Amino acid sequence: MSLDGQYDEQNIFAKILRGEMPCAKVYEDGGTLAFMDAFPQSRGHVLVIPRNPSRNLLEVAPKDIGRLFGTVQRVATAVRSALKPDGIVVTQFNGAPAGQTVFHSHVHIIPRYDGEALAGHAAGEMADTDELKTLAEQIRNALEA
Ligand code: 5GP
């Protein structure tokens, strides 16, 4: 999957958006959804996606960009309050050669803790579902505080 191609309605994030697949939800509004990464690179790894279909950042409609990054900033701030990381990586990948593995555009929020190595990108172990739900709840509470 390079940068070109058609949006696949069966991709895993499209299924999450349609409620066909579960996720540990952190935040949602009319334009965006944030949920825990199931194969986290660190404790508290969150994904933010726009609701409208797009395969990568280059395809996100200009009108949706502000809302997407508004949610990224909001959730990153809540991750900071809830989990007290020492740093936060915000990143995203466009096209398989760049490391993208799910072809609905998304932004990673990855907390960094001093002295703790990151698990590999899209190579980590699947996290315990209950643990992800607990983390999502902690971040949600920080969003509401
Ligand atoms: P990409 O490699 O495209 O930048 O990121 C895709 C991300 O989606 C990876 O970090 C991967 O761990 C995560 N992921 C893959 N499948 C699922 C899933 O079924 N549920 C959730 N919550 N995350 C997923």
Model confidence over 73-102: pLDDT tens digits?
999 999 999 999 999 999 999 999 999 999
> What is the span of the domain harbouring residue 25?
12-114+127-135
Q: Find where tokens 């058609």 sit.
A: 6
> Is 96 a domain residue?
yes
Digits of tens for pLDDT over the chain (145 positions)? 689 899 999 999 999 999 999 999 999 999 999 999 999 999 999 999 999 999 999 999 999 999 999 999 999 999 999 999 999 999 999 999 999 999 999 999 999 999 999 998 887 789 999 999 999 999 999 998 8
Q: Which of 45, 106, 108, 121 is catalytic?
A: 106
Nearest atom in ligand 1 to the alpha carbon of residue 23 is 22
Report d(CA 103, CA 81) in Å as an integer.
Answer: 30
Share of the chain above pLDDT 70, in %: 99
3-state secondary structure 24-51: CEEEECCCEEEEECCCCCCCCCEEEEEC
> Is 59 a domain residue?
yes
Q: What is the DSSP letter of 125?
A: P
> Is 141 a domain residue?
no
> Is 46 a domain residue?
yes
> Is 122 a domain residue?
no
Q: What is the pLDDT of residue 105?
A: 98
> Is 4 a domain residue?
no
Which residue type is seen at 12?
A: I
Asked if 106 is an active-site residue, the reply is yes
Q: Which of 10, 102, 132 to mutate to test the pocket of ligand 1 (most atoms within 8 A of CB)?
A: 102
> Is 53 a domain residue?
yes
> Is 2 a domain residue?
no
CATH number assigned to the domain comprising residue 22: 3.30.428.10
Q: How many domains does the chain have?
A: 1
